[in-house]
Structure 1
Amino acid sequence: MRTRIVVIGGGPAGARLARRLPVTLVGEEPHAPYNRVLLADVLAGRYGPEVITLPGIREPARLGVRAVRIDRAARTVECADGSLVGYDRLVLATGSNPVLPPLRGLPGGALPRGVHSFRTLDDCLALRAAVRPGVRAVVVGGGLLGVSASRALAALGADVVLAQQGERLMERQLDAPASALLREHVESLGAEVHTECRVSGLRQRDGAVTAVELADGFVLDAQVVVLACGVRPRVALAREAGLAVATGIVVDDELRTSDPYVHAVGDCAEHRGRVYGLAGPALEQADALAEVLEREARGAGAAEAEAPGTEAPEAAAPGAGIPAPSAGPASPSASPSPPAYTGTRALTRLTLAGPRPLDLAAFGEVTARPGDDTVQLTDATRNAYRKVVVRGDRLVGGVLLNDLAAVGALARAWEGDEALPEAPLLHLLTHDGGSRHER
């Protein structure tokens, strides 16, 4: 008897599982699963929506269907259309919601006309339909998403203002020199950038936004406002089902929640106290979970093979035909399987088109602590910047702009947490990342 695996969520993690395993995918969005990383390119007009569609999944999905309740006792998922979907294993890949800041003039529920979040394909298409050359657009938030949205809006001919509350753009990923170069690039696209600029409210007329109010009393006229203030894990479904939730849905190294028959992956999952909110870790978690479920399926098949001649009952209970998930440590005679997922060291990549294209990569800690060694190279002619931070004999972080030839070797050294070669640190910023130098 085949294990019934139900996946709630059609984002990158859910779609990855659906391509690897026979599952029932329940997706709230009506679109086929797509690559969210490329939404800014769709907004800018570089790609059509069909281009970012992910490869086909193994079995038909239930798209445009919202899951509203999990009955863990009956092992069923109730959907908004009234249907019930039974499961033996449930995977929550519910993703995240955009953070809507507490602004005056931003009521709960529907956003005022002209105010957009930037998280889904529908958000992207609605924003693209609202923008035309000369439209005054204010982007609130100077992180990765806000910078990407600003570039896309500028490509459409909008008059863009980017308002960042922090001291610099992408301050979580970049050091001050790299952020300054990024700001210079965004401004070269025609966007106006304001940092240390807190937005306090919105002005409306006849239900449509007309301006953005700043905390210092300054007012920015706006016909379009994009809220790019980060994301928050979608955990309501899990919390209402009684699962353990902190910032995200708490999972172990097998991506298992507090219910051994329910897993969580992607933006909604919290592993070892960390919520990643990035595509790379979400895909790694999906692959790790696929291996867990495949291993369980092989174990179930072996158990059935050892009991030939046993007839299946006419009506099997939920979970029949599959082994119960392990609870507690294995016995000394057992040979435990290695942990499925131990975490991800995520590297941030961003490519911005324009008169002077910009390509950047950042990873780990880019601000040195006392006692750390740093190597920093700046090439003003090529508008390039490279920096690595070394702690002892370990590479702990780095940032590269417009010269990414060494990024592969650097990323491997950082991700593997390996001792660096005994060579001058300057070699880390050569095109092979110092990999040709032996200890």
Structure 2
Amino acid sequence: MSRRVVIIGNGPAGHRLAELLCARAPGTDVTILGAESEPAYNRVLLASVLAGRLAAEATYLARHPEGSVRVLTGVRVESIDRRRQEVRTGEGVVLPYDDLVLATGAACFLPPVQGLTEEDGRPAKGVVALRTLADCRLVEDRLPVRGSVAVLGGGVLGLEVARALSERGYDVDVVHGGPHAMDRQLGPAAGDLLATALGGLSVRVLAGRMATAWTGDRLTLRDGSSVAAGLLIVCAGVVPETSLARDAGLRVERGVVVDEYLRTGDPRIHALGDCAEVHGEVSGLIAPAWEQADVLAGVLTGEPRPYTGTRTITRLKARGVDLAVIGAGESEVAGAETVVLTDPARGQYARLSVLDTRVVGAVLLGLPDSVAAVSQLYDSEEAAPNDRLSLLMGRAVAGPAQDPGSLPGQTVICRCSNVTKNDLATAWLRGAREESELAEATRATTGCGGCRSPVKEICRWLRAKHEQPDADAARSGDEQDPPVDHASPASSRRGDHRDPVPELLAP
């Protein structure tokens, strides 16, 4: 009898785990239970949907191969019976498991603002708490014909949503209780410069202003002022979905507590993604979810390795603003050399932290030419050039890692959609020969856009790599094309054990 794995949650983390289990252990009986009626999709792209740059369907993740995974959408799990190793749904369906995975994600946090919610806890009239594609449709339905919109929360998502709506012609006020925009990632100087840049794009950031009441068309602030709005969108953070774990008697703090192998106190139950607390932290970012799925797939298929953390790079997906927060960002790193560059007149700010010659953190605002080089140095852990200012100004190169041919096939090129060099090469061999076609096939470049340059370089490299064998074959009289891998796209994702396109990927 095949091993039964039940995954509660059909978000990116649960979907990716199922994809990897099918690739590594094809006989595994995998069932995904998703509360939403949608197929699995990439939440990172919600702001692009609101801006009108992407259709909702363009965010959908690749379907699992026919017959490999049973996906039940629109299903809510009511309880977990650990003794019997069973899951019960709201419809009364009972599913036995050998291994259970909690990938339940997180829900929007609704601040204690008078009038923000109804008595049952749901958002009040004129309020949308943004977390899902269904919420995007609610925003679309409730947007005023003209006038202004308010966003409550000046973190990454709040600013991305605000900019998305300003692209459509709305004046947007962002009310943020923190001292400055994105205060969890940025210091005051960078936060203020970011607010200035957004102000030139019809987004007004009201930082250090606490909201106290919503009246249906106006948000009152603690200082006595108010903001008129035809719609209020709440992006004030998230709360891990832990109720199932708590009711099952599992340890819950901020999230579902797991060890470095993503195991709860019950060895048959694991957790990953936004609901999981690993090493005392709940990430809330997409990159750790991808990496945790890779680790857990190994654990469940007999190739365990510990999760030691994820090297993160956050790009603000706001058209007209170029901001990257790399690694430690503005956090102080003991023993690190720190270089800070600021030019308010040009809206530029940079902070670079180097420890033992390696980049451990950076914030780059208004300096797009430096992002690729600094990101590559951070990812590769190669030594940073001695001329730090040239690196920050985009005049220094990151070294040989910039050559696409030297990158391993599993290198992630697009962090928003978890697209690797393998994925781009596989799409290329299947006929996607231009950057636009690669974007459509893999979703690379459709998020923050920070990967456009490397995708372009890989496209150029693939073209040259593909044409060379053709020329050699013509000279030798052999007209055969290089072999194409016809396996599922999942086979080319990170963590898989075979290279789907060795002819193209070999340096």
If the TM-score is normalised by the length of the shorter chain, which range does it land in?
0.7 to 0.9
**Structure 1 residue 51: deviation in Å?**
0.6
* C-alpha distance in 2 between matches for 1:14 and 1:240: 21
Secondary structure, aligned partner of 2:339: strand
- For 1:82-101, list aligned pairs within 5 A: 82-101=92-111
Counterparts in 2 of 1:433 and 1:21: CA distance versus 1, 3 Å: same
**Structure 1 residue 211: deviation in Å?**
1.4
TM superposition score normalised by structure 1:
0.82
**Structure 1 residue 433: deviation in Å?**
5.4
Read off the aligned partner of 1:426 and give its amino acid letter: L
Q: Deviations over 1:153-200 (max 9, x none)?
A: 212332311111112101111233322232122211212221110001
Question: What residue in structure 2 maps to residue 277 of structure 1?
Answer: 284
Range with greater deviation from structure 2 (213-222 or 229-238) = 213-222
Match of 1:124 among 133, 136, 144: 136
**Structure 1 residue 371: deviation in Å?**
7.0
Secondary structure, aligned partner of 1:54: coil
Range with greater deviation from structure 2 (109-118 or 169-178) = 169-178
Match of 1:241 among 235, 238, 248: 248
Question: What residue in structure 2 maps to residue 359 of structure 1?
Answer: 322
Secondary structure, aligned partner of 1:50: helix
Assess if the C-alpha contact under 8 Å between 1:405 and 1:432 holds in 2: no
**Structure 1 residue 347: deviation in Å?**
1.5
Does residue 341 (structure 1) correspond to residue 307 (structure 2)? The answer is yes
* C-alpha distance in 2 between matches for 1:369 and 1:26: 41
* C-alpha distance in 1 between matches for 2:37 and 2:205: 35
Assess if the C-alpha contact under 8 Å between 1:132 and 1:156 holds in 2: no
Read off the aligned partner of 2:185 and give its amino acid letter: Q
Assess if the C-alpha contact under 8 Å between 2:323 and 2:365 holds in 1: yes
Assess if the C-alpha contact under 8 Å between 2:181 and 2:205 holds in 1: no
Higher helix share: 2
Question: What residue in structure 2 maps to residue 215 of structure 1?
Answer: 222
Counterparts in 2 of 1:371 and 1:343: CA distance versus 1, 3 Å: closer
Question: What residue in structure 1 maps to residue 270 of structure 2?
Answer: 263
* C-alpha distance in 1 between matches for 2:105 and 2:18: 15
**Structure 1 residue 368: deviation in Å?**
4.7
Read off the aligned partner of 2:4 and give its amino acid letter: R
Assess if the C-alpha contact under 8 Å between 1:91 and 1:263 holds in 2: yes
Secondary structure, aligned partner of 2:50: helix
* C-alpha distance in 1 between matches for 2:331 and 2:254: 26
* C-alpha distance in 1 between matches for 2:108 and 2:256: 17
* C-alpha distance in 2 between matches for 1:372 and 1:385: 19
Q: Deviations over 1:368-392 (max 9, x none)?
A: 5797533234567864433202356
Secondary structure, aligned partner of 2:322: strand
Counterparts in 2 of 1:162 and 1:93: CA distance versus 1, 3 Å: same
Which consecutive unaligned segments of at least 5 residues does structure 1 have? 204-208, 297-336
**Structure 1 residue 405: deviation in Å?**
3.7
* C-alpha distance in 2 between matches for 1:26 and 1:432: 49
* C-alpha distance in 2 between matches for 1:127 and 1:266: 26
Secondary structure, aligned partner of 1:61: strand
**Structure 1 residue 414: deviation in Å?**
3.8
Question: What residue in structure 1 maps to residue 150 of structure 2?
Answer: 138
**Structure 1 residue 100: deviation in Å?**
0.5
Secondary structure, aligned partner of 2:295: helix
Question: What residue in structure 1 maps to residue 340 of structure 2?
Answer: 376
* C-alpha distance in 2 between matches for 1:48 and 1:419: 39
* C-alpha distance in 2 between matches for 1:433 and 1:247: 41
**Structure 1 residue 432: deviation in Å?**
5.0
Does residue 150 (structure 1) correspond to residue 116 (structure 2)? The answer is no
* C-alpha distance in 2 between matches for 1:410 and 1:114: 43
* C-alpha distance in 2 between matches for 1:422 and 1:121: 43
Q: In percent, how many aligned pairs have the same letter?
A: 41
Tell me the C-alpha RMSD between the 2 structures: 2.4
Question: What residue in structure 2 maps to residue 66 of structure 1?
Answer: 76
Does residue 389 (structure 1) correspond to residue 399 (structure 2)? The answer is no
Assess if the C-alpha contact under 8 Å between 1:407 and 1:433 holds in 2: no
TM superposition score normalised by structure 2:
0.71
Assess if the C-alpha contact under 8 Å between 2:197 and 2:347 holds in 1: no
**Structure 1 residue 221: deviation in Å?**
2.0
Assess if the C-alpha contact under 8 Å between 2:153 and 2:176 holds in 1: yes
* C-alpha distance in 2 between matches for 1:169 and 1:399: 14
Q: Deviations over 1:194-226 (max 9, x none)?
A: 1110001111xxxxx121111112222222111
**Structure 1 residue 43: deviation in Å?**
1.0
**Structure 1 residue 247: deviation in Å?**
0.7
Alignment length (residue pairs): 387
**Structure 1 residue 412: deviation in Å?**
4.7
Question: What residue in structure 2 maps to residue 16 of structure 1?
Answer: 16
* C-alpha distance in 1 between matches for 2:11 and 2:44: 11
Assess if the C-alpha contact under 8 Å between 1:367 and 1:389 holds in 2: no
Match of 1:250 among 238, 257, 260: 257
Which consecutive unaligned segments of at least 5 residues does structure 2 have? 23-29, 402-507
* C-alpha distance in 2 between matches for 1:434 and 1:412: 7
